[in-house]
């Protein structure tokens, strides 16, 4: 029986997602999806299934006879970041920064707004955003009794939504590259790919409203859905994580912290991490541009289009770790204490690394089954053009949710959307491309198997499924508003009408949410606190 490119290709992601929701055991659920997908690929031949899984896992580390630098460097960066965070904490930097933040940031509202601002400032890459901002913000939010689930929401909602509308980011460069190819294929010469990307920013309704919602949630302390439970516990008891789930995120080991810590013990390693990572991104980008077969001008766009993100993260992480150790040494706590700190840092990231490996594996299985192609093929069949932006938004969301990758969805759906527009109404080219980008980020946001979602929960130190379930209602609000906007856009063929209608719906939704949240004592108390 043929399972590829058919409805059966949905079985692995749907099985994994349902099991995650029902059992809240991520590895078991992902493992079930992996095994189910491999069985489908090989007609339930056990030997071939095990061989397929082994080959995929090996491919995460060795590809085409060489080191798989992208995957390996990302994993190493996670371990290095864990060690760096642990050493900073051991040196007393986290405690000192928390005490300083308490003296400067007086309210829970201020702590949350500061976290959101941090997320907007660091827009170069979503991986880097989630992990770096998480490490900077965690001491502040912990001191103000803000749950880790809430912090993870802020990290996730200021990572991909910012990167997808920033031309000077790894995401922007990737998208602009795809658009350039699309324009060349369809002989579109009246605008450049860069110009098209800029024009599409206000059309990316999900990214726009997700970012606005983050600010509104932080300012008005809007806690609804499962998030309310986590905020109630954190505010009342100071338990920012469910006590029963601490071991699941690597917080089981406690080490003695120095009482001589200074704010600089945290700030300078983080600053050096950021500066060195950006510097390496620029350097590797320049080197790669110069190494291209076809001569290309060295511009900021071409640099970020060709930069080596994993290598830059690894090198920047090593600089940050070295800085953390240098600031730790004057505390004279001994080599044994340093070794334990490094060990705790590695252990704190084992859970994230394992989940990421499982997520990569199921993504490979899903790709082999052609899940994305099957979903994309549903679009190109007797469609009323008025509903095209809406349908592409929804379908891209489903695809990204099921496959756990927004970039993969970009690669499949953007050319399809462009093909439909070019053959029907070229005026809809930019709106439908923007709808794909918006839907892809939405689906990626909600997917428990998305690496961005995993890294956001890791950066916040939140239990992964807690992050997925608490963020979902907020994502659905932004998605619902966006869907109405794309319907209005398609029916009127006016981007501004779509934006105006969605803004009106967003305002109504906020009034309802604010009224709902006003019944929550935390919302009222935390504004005063």
Q: Name the pLDDT band for 528 (thresholds 50, 70, 90).
A: very low
Structure tokens at 299: 């511009």
Query: Strand 66-67 relative to strand 62-63: parallel, antiparallel, unpaired?
Result: antiparallel
pLDDT (tens digit per residue) in 398-417: 888 887 878 777 777 777 77
pLDDT (average), residues 293-307: 79
Selection from 138, 200, 128 nearest residue 164 by Cα: 200
pLDDT at residue 58 above 90? yes
Q: What is the pLDDT of residue 46?
A: 94
Mean pLDDT, residues 438-442 = 93
C-beta atoms surrounding 66 within 10 Å: 7
| Pair of tokens at residue 139 | 């001491």
CB half-sphere exposure, 187, CA atoms < 13 A: 1
Q: Distance (Å, rounded) from C-alpha 466 to C-alpha 385?
A: 39
Averaged pLDDT for residues 201-213: 94
Instruction: Assign 67 to helix, strand or coil.
Output: strand
The percentage of the chain sitting over the pLDDT mark of 70, rounded to a whole number, equals 88
pLDDT at 59 over 60: yes
- Decide if 204 contacts 501 (C-beta within 8 A): no
Q: Please give the Cα distance from 477 to 513 (Å, whole number).
A: 10
Q: Please determine, for residue 149, whether its predicted confidence score (pLDDT) is greater than 70.
A: yes
Position 379 scores a pLDDT of 60
Query: Contact, 379 vs 395, CB < 8 A?
Result: yes
Task: Pick the more confident residue, 190 or 248.
Answer: 190
- pLDDT at 527 (0 to 100): 45
User: What would the pLDDT profile of 66-117 be if each residue is shown by its tens digit?
Assistant: 998 878 887 888 788 788 878 888 888 877 876 777 778 888 888 899 889 8
**Least confidently predicted of 182-191, 195-204, 223-232, 514-523:** 514-523
Q: Cα(132)–Cα(316) distance, rounded to whole angstroms?
A: 11
What predicted TM-score, i.e. pTM, was given to this entire model?
0.73
Eight-state DSSP code of residue 187: T
Return the higher-pLDDT residue of 121 and 314. Answer: 314
Q: Where residue 393 falls among pLDDT bands split at 50, 70, 90?
A: very high
DSSP helix/strand/coil, 63: strand
Of 442, 418, 438, nearest in space to 428 by CA: 418
- Copy the structure tokens of residue 258: 């120095």
Q: What is the rounded CA–CA span in Å between residue 356 and residue 513?
A: 34
pLDDT at 380: 57
CB 84 within 8 A of CB 324: yes
pLDDT at 470 (0 to 100): 92
Residue 50: per-residue pLDDT: 94
3-class secondary-structure state, position 247? helix
Contact indicator for 167, 192 with CB cutoff of 8 Å: no
In sequence order, the 6+-apart residues with CB closer than 8 A to the CB of 165 are: 172, 201, 204, 207, 208
End-to-end CA distance of the chain: 62
Tell me the per-residue pLDDT of 233-255, one tens digit each, with 9 for 90 and over: 888 888 888 776 654 444 444 55
| Mean pLDDT, all residues of the chain | 83
For residue 62, what is the enclosing H or E element? Answer: strand 62-63
Identify which has the larger pLDDT, 482 or 407.
482
pLDDT at 253: 45
Quick one: pLDDT at residue 15?
86
pLDDT score, position 216: 92
Q: What is the pLDDT of residue 246?
A: 55
């Amino acid at each position: 029986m043929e399972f590829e490119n058919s409805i059966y290709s949905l079985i692995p992601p749907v099985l994994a997602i349902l099991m995650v929701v029902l059992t809240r055991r991520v590895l078991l659920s992902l493992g079930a999806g992996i095994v189910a997908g491999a069985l489908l690929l090989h007609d339930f031949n056990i030997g071939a299934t095990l061989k397929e899984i082994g080959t995929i896992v090996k491919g995460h580390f060795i590809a085409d006879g060489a080191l798989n630098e992208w995957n390996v460097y990302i994993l190493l960066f996670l371990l290095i970041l864990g060690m760096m965070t642990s050493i900073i904490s051991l040196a007393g930097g986290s405690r000192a920064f928390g005490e300083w933040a308490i003296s400067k940031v007086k309210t829970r509202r201020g702590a949350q707004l500061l976290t959101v601002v941090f997320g907007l400032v660091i827009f170069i890459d979503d991986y880097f955003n989630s992990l770096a901002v998480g490490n900077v913000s965690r001491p502040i939010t912990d001191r103000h009794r803000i749950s880790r689930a809430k912090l993870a929401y802020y990290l996730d909602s200021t990572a991909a939504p910012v990167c997808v509308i920033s031309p000077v980011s790894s995401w922007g460069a990737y998208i602009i590259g795809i658009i350039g190819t699309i324009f060349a294929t369809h002989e579109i010469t009246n605008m450049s790919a860069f110009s098209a990307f800029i024009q599409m920013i206000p059309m990316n309704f999900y990214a726009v409203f997700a970012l606005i919602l983050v600010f509104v949630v932080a300012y008005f302390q809007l806690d609804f859905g499962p998030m309310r439970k986590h905020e109630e516990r954190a505010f009342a008891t100071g338990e920012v994580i469910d006590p029963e789930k601490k071991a699941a995120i690597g917080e089981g080991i406690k080490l003695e912290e120095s009482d001589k810590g200074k704010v600089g013990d945290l700030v300078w390693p983080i600053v050096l991490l950021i500066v060195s990572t950006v510097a390496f991104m620029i350097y590797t980008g320049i080197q790669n541009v110069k190494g291209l077969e076809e001569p290309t001008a060295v511009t900021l766009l071409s640099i970020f289009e060709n930069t080596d993100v994993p290598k830059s993260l690894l090198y920047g992480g090593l600089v940050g770790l070295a800085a953390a150790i240098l600031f730790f040494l004057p505390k004279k706590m001994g080599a044994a204490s340093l070794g334990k700190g490094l060990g705790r840092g590695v252990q704190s990231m084992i859970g994230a690394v394992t989940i990421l490996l499982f997520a990569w594996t199921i993504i490979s299985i899903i790709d082999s089954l052609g899940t994305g192609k099957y979903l994309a093929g549903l679009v190109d069949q007797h469609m009323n053009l008025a509903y095209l932006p809406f349908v592409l938004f929804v379908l891209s969301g489903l695809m990204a949710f099921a496959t756990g990758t927004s970039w993969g969805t970009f690669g499949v759906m953007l050319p399809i959307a462009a093909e439909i527009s070019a053959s029907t109404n070229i005026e809809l080219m930019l709106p439908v491309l923007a709808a794909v980008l918006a839907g892809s980020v939405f689906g990626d946001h909600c997917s428990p198997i998305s690496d961005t979602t995993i890294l956001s929960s890791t950066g916040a130190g939140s239990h992964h499924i807690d992050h997925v379930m608490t963020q979902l209602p907020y994502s659905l609000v932004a998605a619902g508003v966006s869907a109405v906007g794309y319907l209005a856009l398609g029916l009127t063929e006016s981007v501004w009408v779509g934006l105006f209608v969605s803004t009106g719906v967003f305002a109504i939704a906020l009034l309802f949410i604010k009224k709902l949240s006003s019944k929550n004592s935390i919302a009222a108390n935390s504004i005063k606190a």
